[in-house]
Amino acid sequence: MLTIILLILFAGLMFWAAYTDLTRLTLSNRLCLITALLYPLYLMTRYLDGYGLPLENILLSLAIAVVLFIICAGFFALNVMGGGDVKFIPAVALWAGTTHILNFLLITAVIGGLFAGKIIVQNRIKASKYLKSSENINLSVAEKEESAVPYGVGIAIGGLYVAYQIFTEISRASA
């Protein structure tokens, strides 16, 4: 029962992440930290409820999260990814574990890619309007267009997928 409550909290954090990234283009440090810190509590409740995870799965989840953080930090250094995304992906990856990590990353990439594509198209359309108005335009106007991608929405949807899969596994185990 405690595990289900933590899964509901995790899902609530995913909804909050999607909302804040859509409205403010930020994923707060607090959100990332709470998501990561709920994971050890989740592990303890699984153990208390009688369906704990093997230690090797937990250690592999931690290793995956660390590797993803390093990769994402590299993207951040290249100015390809925002700082919130860099912290949020590994936090959710802990929950995905070895079982759901590939589907989580796929869902995140597809949804994030759709948002990125939408923004690229919008910026091209806006830039083409400026180009039509004059041949001697200052292109810096078009370059200043908003290009931030609310990638947290994709991460959050991937996280909701993970929460659903874990809930399904727990439901089957307790039946």
Q: Which domain holds residue 26?
A: 2-174
- Which pLDDT score is estimated for 135? 52
pLDDT one-digit tens code per residue, 93-144: 999 999 999 999 999 999 999 998 998 898 888 877 765 555 545 554 444 4
The pTM of the full predicted model, rounded to 2 decimals, is: 0.87
Residue-level pLDDT at 54: 93
The tally of domains found in the chain comes to 1
Residues 6 or more apart in contact with residue 7 via CB below 8 angstroms: 42, 163, 166, 167, 170
Residue 147, pLDDT score: 73
> What are the residue ranges in the chain where pLDDT is below 50?
136, 140-145
